[in-house]
A and B are shown apart, each in its own frame.
Chain A
Amino acid sequence: MTDPARTDATTPAETGTDRTGAAGDGTPETVTAEVGTAGVRAPVGRRCFLRGAAAAGAGLTGAAAVGATAGAVAGDGARVGDRTAGAGTAVTVVPPFHGPHQQSLLAAPRRSTVYVAFDVTAGDRTELTELLRTLTARARFLTCGGTPEPVGITGPPADSGVLGGAPPPGALAVTVAVGAALFDGRFGLGGLRPRRLSAMPVFPDDDLRPDWCHGDLGLQLHADEPDTVLHALRDIARHTRGGLQVRWRMDGFTSPPRPSGAPRNLLGFKDGTANPDAADAREMDRLVWVGRGSGEPAWAVGGSYQVVRLIRLLVEFWDRVSLAEQERMIGRARESGAPLDGDAETDRPHYADDPTGDVIPLDAHIRRADPRTPATADQRVLRRACNYDRGVDANGNLDMGLLFCCYQQDIARQFEKIQGRLAGEPLTDYIRTFGGGYFFALPGVRDETDWYGRALLT
């Protein structure tokens, strides 16, 4: 699918001859004072270094907000089972910022999420580089917390103050991904596009609206509190004002366990129970991370394909459907989350024992999404979905749904296979996918000197 906006390419006259970056020129001006300022790096670095380990303490506090009701906060030093947030996996609650991967994408969604798709307005490759360096510096500062650098009389306050004088990290996780459109002619990156990255196609049950699709760069923020997320969003937008323009944005939230297990979506069902174990590194290497020898450009190793789908749930309609029919459509009991052939949420469905779908219908959502066969095992994705609520539509119907997000090694092998099986499932009458996009989550920021996309641009 082509992007009509892109047919209007940047003219040389618009890009100018300025070698400066989106938010900076390399000259010591206030707008970019945080980039390359020795004064910023040291303290932040120390904090970031501690983040993975120290997070356990902070994580307990944070997890209390999300999962204490489950009574399942299981701090054992550096790890807290994120079953409290219900994804059925266990990873460090607050992922470290630095590393070969963006650990943030493994983390179960915290209570508050913002997904923003940007278009890059940086004029050329140099500006794009400067933009990504700035984005890295801001993400590093925001996830690590600390005192914003004072600017004296040389500018307005460096920080919005929304989180007080020394913004705490608040379990903020930042994930940066790029869309296929970034690899058009503007930045000379055409030959470096991740092999399996394209614009999101239109699927048969979709009702896509162009204003809610695609983007050059996807930014996902999640944290324990909405103010933490909005503080980060304002900070990043402010520092990248010249180089990024918001294309679309969706805010989401993750519910606490009701009363236990995976958080419920707005259909009332537990969602994410069958996720692969994000704490299992080998499983993540098999399903999520792009590895060596996969035919991908070398820079992409360590990244992951991200699929975002904005799925409205027609909740009024859904609420008028009998419980038995709801459960047959999903394949699970609404109350317990157990598969219809099991007793507990974590029970594994046994489709082989039910070949004609007497208990779990053949077209039930969970059965089509994951048939649990050896042949489909490598098609599984890491779901990182949350709920959204954005008011009402023109007819006064509540506009809420699912901010679906998943990660995988290969969109065609994984998400698209699943999507193909789900085509025409009974649930499609109750949902409308109206937006989203395909993105590639960049490899991680390895250390203090690294930055998002360095391997792509250098």
Chain B
Amino acid sequence: MRRTPGEGARSPRGRAAVALAPVLGAAGLLLLPYAPPPTAAAPRGLPHTTVEVSPGRCGRGWDRPAPGLQVFRLHNTSGAAAEVRLTERGSGAVLGETEGIGPGTTRTLTVRLGKGAYAFRCVPEDADAVTGPTVRLEGGRAGPAAAPVTEHDLIPPAIAYQKWVAGGLVTVVRLTGRLRDAIDRGDLAAARTAWLPAHLAYERLGAAYDAFGDADARINGTAAGRPGGVGDPSFTGFHRVEHGLWHGAPAGSLRAPAAALAADVAALRTSWDQARMDPAQLGLRAHEILENTVQSELTGRTDHGSGSNLATARANLDGTRAVLARLRPLLTTRYPGLPALDRRLERAAVLLDGFRHGARWTPLTRLSRARRERTDAVFGDLVERLSSVATLCAPRRTA
């Protein structure tokens, strides 16, 4: 995955910071005197029920239960921030959640409830989760729900994925070595032939870009965001070499960039064995790989001369499928749209394979309008579907 310097990386850390912000803000409210919760903060016209959030009185206040679309006002009467989930009692499936409710504050949660038994579950920071009283409802059909995924659930797939990446890096090192050798020999035709397989081998691992850290900017950054553009000394890696190979640069000028690239991927392979992937990354990667494809490949933004954006998009599809393969056991029971997603992924792969002619790929700019629209539509459809994988596979504390 390309990551240019200065481009905001959507790391899990960044997300966590966002999620924490209301908590910290709310903590400031501790200094303020208690004020009763405001009365109209949520969609109007819906039934409102105020319930308490605290270790001793989790879910109290839900005295007149009714099915249908409704708003709960979650009032945290405890001294610590808490997360609240409305769960279906039998399955533990979550109908709705609100994170980071600060002490003394009230947040709303809109849900649709139907026939079934429900309970609130309060998850205070730094304390055990508490389940509120069970409430039974007759009639109506509830909104969509899914069982929470825990970090524990995500560790085996994350380890499996990490191993898969390790194997992929061996291939990247090998193919990048061929590219470097061709340039060293001064055989630029062979170098142009060797560039694409090496780059695609790397792109296939796209899911791991955050875990690759700064290495990715050196290996796969573009000229964007660099004051000197393609001539900037900090512009290195696959696209630096690509730019030279497809813009008539002499072999001598590419030896150093190719050698640096080979050294960088070799160093990455070595360090990868020590790295530990954050399991929370996995669900995010499942949708972010193709989000990046939509932004960077289908727009041609990353093309530095090879015209291989569609090949990259195809490699990114493989990368997405590699993530999904590891998450599959968690998704089969949680994501009813999974079979449809699988079919759409296959459709996208078939579509892109149609742009391949031996070792060459149709450049993006040569696509007819109809084919380009179809490609954009297929990927647009995929990212909509994959966004659910990310929300479902965000790790949640259950105990």
Where the two chains meet, the residues of A that have a C-beta atom closer than 8 Å to any C-beta of B are: 4-11, 13-14, 16, 18, 20, 22-25, 27-31, 33, 38-39, 43, 119, 121, 147, 149-156, 164-166, 238, 241-245, 247
B314 to chain A, nearest CB (A): 14
Extra A-B contacts (10), CB below 8 Å, given A29-B335, A155-B392 = A4-B369, A6-B370, A22-B381, A23-B381, A30-B144, A39-B141, A121-B373, A152-B96, A165-B110, A242-B344
Where the two chains meet, the residues of B that have a C-beta atom closer than 8 Å to any C-beta of A are: 42-46, 69, 94-97, 110-112, 140-141, 143-146, 148, 334-337, 339-340, 343-344, 346-347, 350-351, 354, 368-371, 373-374, 376-378, 380-381, 383-385, 387-388, 390-392, 394, 396
Alpha-carbon distance A8/B373, docked complex (angstroms): 11
Chain A residues whose CB sits within 8 angstroms of the CB of B344 once the complex forms: 18, 20, 242
- Interchain CB contact under 8 A, B392 and A153: yes
- Interchain CB contact under 8 A, A241 and B384: yes
Q: Specify which of A4, A18, A121, A153 is in contact with B377 (CB 8 Å cutoff).
A: A121
- Interchain CB contact under 8 A, B143 and A25: no
Alpha-carbon distance A34/B369, docked complex (angstroms): 31
With a 10 A CB-CB cut-off, give which of A27, A28, A151, A153 has the most chain B CB atoms: A153
- Interchain CB contact under 8 A, A154 and B347: no
With both beta carbons as reference points, the residue of chain A lying nearest to B368 in the complex is identified as A8
Alpha-carbon distance A9/B96, docked complex (angstroms): 44
Alpha-carbon distance A24/B383, docked complex (angstroms): 14
- Interchain CB contact under 8 A, A152 and B337: no
Alpha-carbon distance A247/B374, docked complex (angstroms): 12
Chain B residues whose CB sits within 8 angstroms of the CB of A22 once the complex forms: 381
Query: Mind listing 18 A-B residue pairs with CB under 8 Å?
Result: A10-B374, A14-B350, A14-B351, A29-B340, A29-B388, A31-B388, A43-B69, A121-B374, A150-B143, A152-B94, A153-B96, A153-B146, A153-B392, A155-B391, A156-B388, A164-B43, A242-B381, A245-B380
Alpha-carbon distance A13/B141, docked complex (angstroms): 39
- Interchain CB contact under 8 A, B336 and A147: no
Chain B residues whose CB sits within 8 angstroms of the CB of A11 once the complex forms: 354
- Interchain CB contact under 8 A, A242 and B380: yes
Q: Specify which of A5, A8, A18, A165 is in contact with B347 (CB 8 Å cutoff).
A: A18
- Given contacts A14-B347, A16-B350, A152-B95, A245 and B143 within 8 Å (CB-CB): no
Chain A residues whose CB sits within 8 angstroms of the CB of B392 once the complex forms: 153-155
- Interchain CB contact under 8 A, A152 and B97: yes
Chain A residues whose CB sits within 8 angstroms of the CB of B112 once the complex forms: 39, 149-150
Alpha-carbon distance A25/B388, docked complex (angstroms): 15
Q: Specify which of A4, A23, A152, A164 is in contact with B145 (CB 8 Å cutoff).
A: A152
Chain A residues whose CB sits within 8 angstroms of the CB of B146 once the complex forms: 152-154
- Interchain CB contact under 8 A, A13 and B143: no
A48 to chain B, nearest CB (A): 15
Q: Specify which of A10, A152, A242 is in contact with B143 (CB 8 Å cutoff).
A: A152
- Interchain CB contact under 8 A, A155 and B381: no
B372 to chain A, nearest CB (A): 9
B255 to chain A, nearest CB (A): 42
Task: Tell me the interface secondary structure of chain A in the complex.
Answer: loop
Chain B residues whose CB sits within 8 angstroms of the CB of A150 once the complex forms: 69, 95-96, 110-112, 143
- Interchain CB contact under 8 A, B44 and A149: no
Chain B residues whose CB sits within 8 angstroms of the CB of A119 once the complex forms: 369-370, 373
With a 10 A CB-CB cut-off, give which of B44, B112, B334, B392 has the most chain A CB atoms: B112
- Interchain CB contact under 8 A, A154 and B391: yes
Chain B residues whose CB sits within 8 angstroms of the CB of A7 once the complex forms: 368
Chain B residues whose CB sits within 8 angstroms of the CB of A247 once the complex forms: 373
- Interchain CB contact under 8 A, A16 and B110: no
With both beta carbons as reference points, the residue of chain A lying nearest to B337 in the complex is identified as A29
- Interchain CB contact under 8 A, A8 and B377: no
Chain B residues whose CB sits within 8 angstroms of the CB of A9 once the complex forms: 370
Alpha-carbon distance A16/B352, docked complex (angstroms): 13
Chain A residues whose CB sits within 8 angstroms of the CB of B144 once the complex forms: 28, 30, 33, 151-152, 154-155
Chain B residues whose CB sits within 8 angstroms of the CB of A156 once the complex forms: 387-388, 390-391
- Interchain CB contact under 8 A, B377 and A20: no
Chain A residues whose CB sits within 8 angstroms of the CB of B376 once the complex forms: 245
Alpha-carbon distance A5/B367, docked complex (angstroms): 10
A258 to chain B, nearest CB (A): 36
Chain A residues whose CB sits within 8 angstroms of the CB of B387 once the complex forms: 155-156
- Interchain CB contact under 8 A, A238 and B384: yes
Q: Specify which of B42, B351, B377 is in contact with A241 (CB 8 Å cutoff).
A: B377
Q: Specify which of B45, B46, B370, B378 is in contact with A242 (CB 8 Å cutoff).
A: B378
Chain A residues whose CB sits within 8 angstroms of the CB of B343 once the complex forms: 16, 18, 20
- Interchain CB contact under 8 A, A241 and B380: yes
- Given contacts A14-B374, A154-B144, A154-B146, A39 and B336 within 8 Å (CB-CB): no
With both beta carbons as reference points, the residue of chain A lying nearest to B390 in the complex is identified as A156
Chain A residues whose CB sits within 8 angstroms of the CB of B335 once the complex forms: 29, 154
- Interchain CB contact under 8 A, A8 and B371: yes
- Interchain CB contact under 8 A, B148 and A153: yes
Chain B residues whose CB sits within 8 angstroms of the CB of A20 once the complex forms: 340, 343-344
Q: Specify which of A14, A27, A153 is in contact with B337 (CB 8 Å cutoff).
A: A27
With both beta carbons as reference points, the residue of chain B lying nearest to A150 in the complex is identified as B110
- Interchain CB contact under 8 A, A147 and B337: no
B10 to chain A, nearest CB (A): 14
A40 to chain B, nearest CB (A): 10
Alpha-carbon distance A28/B144, docked complex (angstroms): 9
Chain A residues whose CB sits within 8 angstroms of the CB of B385 once the complex forms: 29, 31
Alpha-carbon distance A29/B144, docked complex (angstroms): 9
Alpha-carbon distance A98/B373, docked complex (angstroms): 32
With both beta carbons as reference points, the residue of chain A lying nearest to B109 in the complex is identified as A150
- Interchain CB contact under 8 A, B340 and A5: no
- Interchain CB contact under 8 A, B110 and A38: no
B61 to chain A, nearest CB (A): 20
- Given contacts A31-B385, A119-B373, A245-B373, A166 and B336 within 8 Å (CB-CB): no
